[in-house]
Each structure stands twice: as C-alpha cells, then as structure tokens.
C-alpha cells in the first residue's frame, strides 16, 4: 500500500452505541440529504467527484477495475441519481451512509467484538474472497482490504458479514477510506461524523484518529 498508494489514509471513529432502527429525526435528515444530492449530480459527473475519483485511481493502481467493482460511495450515489433511493438499516448504518454520500468517501462500520488482534490495511492477494453484505462470494483480490487475525473483513466496495453492525449495544469502529494527502479534509469529515453521532444516537466514548500508510 505504501508503494502503490502513498496517500492512503484511514479516518477511524470508535464509539459505544445502542444500535437500533433510526428515529424520525434521523430518517427526516437522511431523506432530505438523499433528495438534495439526487438533484445535485448527473450520472456522468459521479466518477469525477474528487474522493470517488481518488478511490477509483487507487483501485487501478492495485490492478482492480473501478467500474466492475464500484466503491460504495459511487454505487450509492449512482443509485440516488437514478431515483432509487437508499435502504434504511439502522442508525449506525444510516450515519455511515450519510457521511459517504455527502463526502464521496467510502465508509465501513464494524462490530469490534467480531474482530481479533491487530488490524492492517493491505491489498488482498489473488483468489481472496469473502461473503459480502448483500454480495455473496465477493472477489476481493487486489482491493485495499482490512484484515484482522481471522482474515479479511472490510473494503471500500463491500464489507463482509462477519463484522456487520446488528442491533443492540455495540462497540463500533467506523472507517473512512481516503486516498489523498490532504489530512485536513479527512479531519473535517471525522468531526462531522462525531457531530452526527452526538445528534442522532446515544454514542459514548467517541474517539477519532487518522492512520496514515506513509508512516
């Protein structure tokens, strides 16, 4: 990763939260944001949104087709512009997706109790696959992937079912996948992530951190 994508960074938000169905306030904000974004872009413009373009370029650098394996931010924005909206899952996933469609970064949220040992971002080797959320038997080779001691569990296209966020009191790690050198831009969205958690959930022990592959 350091050689092929020297600007790669992870924006990490750790927190404890009661995961549950989104309330009317969050759903109202969610629907308003989706509607505004749907009227902001044409389909041809989505791939050129800065952070989406950077993720596409990172995929190319690793040898993965960014059109065949669209990153989550791009896939959601294409769905919105087509008028298909977004699924509602729970309060954590809704905030995850709000940050993603507003910023152009792909974002993943993971149940920390489903993870073991140290976590590392690296290109997945040839033949690597896992069962993705809504995408069974996903080919993840050459994608920038998060691994723990048990194997792969997350990437900017689709996360695995192993660490997916389910309802109940959870310790969560949300990750913003960034492929540029502007640390201030990522700091801005981490701050916005904290704001949305404080506004729409009961999240406590919120911590944010930027991890840079250049170090």
**Mean pLDDT score of the chain, rounded to an integer?**
95
pLDDT value at 213 more than 90: no
pLDDT value at 89 more than 80: yes
pLDDT band at 211 (very low <50, low <70, confident <90, very high): very high
Task: In whole angstroms, give the CA distance from residue 53 to residue 55.
Answer: 5
pLDDT value at 215 more than 60: no
pLDDT value at 167 more than 70: yes
Residue 178, C-beta contacts closer than 8 angstroms, at least 6 positions apart: 7, 8, 9, 10, 11, 51, 54, 105, 185, 186
DSSP, residue by residue, 8-21? EEEEEEEEEEEE--
Q: What angle (nearest 5°) sits at the alpha carbon of residue 130, between those of residues 82 and 20?
A: 60
pLDDT in tens, 13-22: 999 999 999 9
């Amino acid at each position: 990763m350091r050689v092929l994508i020297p600007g790669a960074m992870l924006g990490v938000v750790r927190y404890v939260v009661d995961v549950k169905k989104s309330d009317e306030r969050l759903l109202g904000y969610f629907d308003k944001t989706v509607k505004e974004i749907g009227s902001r872009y044409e389909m041809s413009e989505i791939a050129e949104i800065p952070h989406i373009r950077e993720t596409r370029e990172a995929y190319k650098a690793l040898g993965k087709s960014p059109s065949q394996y669209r990153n989550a931010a791009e896939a959601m924005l294409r769905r919105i512009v087509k008028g298909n909206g977004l699924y509602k899952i729970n309060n954590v996933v809704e905030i995850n997706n709000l940050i993603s469609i507003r910023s152009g970064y792909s974002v993943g949220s993971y149940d920390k109790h489903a993870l073991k040992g140290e976590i590392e971002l690296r290109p997945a080797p040839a033949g690597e696959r896992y069962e993705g959320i809504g995408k069974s038997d996903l080919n993840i080779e050459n994608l920038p992937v998060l691994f723990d001691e048990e194997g792969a569990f997350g990437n900017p296209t689709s996360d695995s079912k192993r660490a997916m966020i389910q309802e109940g009191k959870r310790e969560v790690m949300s990750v913003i996948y960034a492929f540029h050198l502007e640390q201030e831009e990522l700091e801005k969205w981490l701050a916005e992530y904290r704001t949305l958690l404080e506004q729409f959930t009961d999240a406590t022990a919120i911590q944010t951190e930027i991890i840079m592959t250049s170090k």
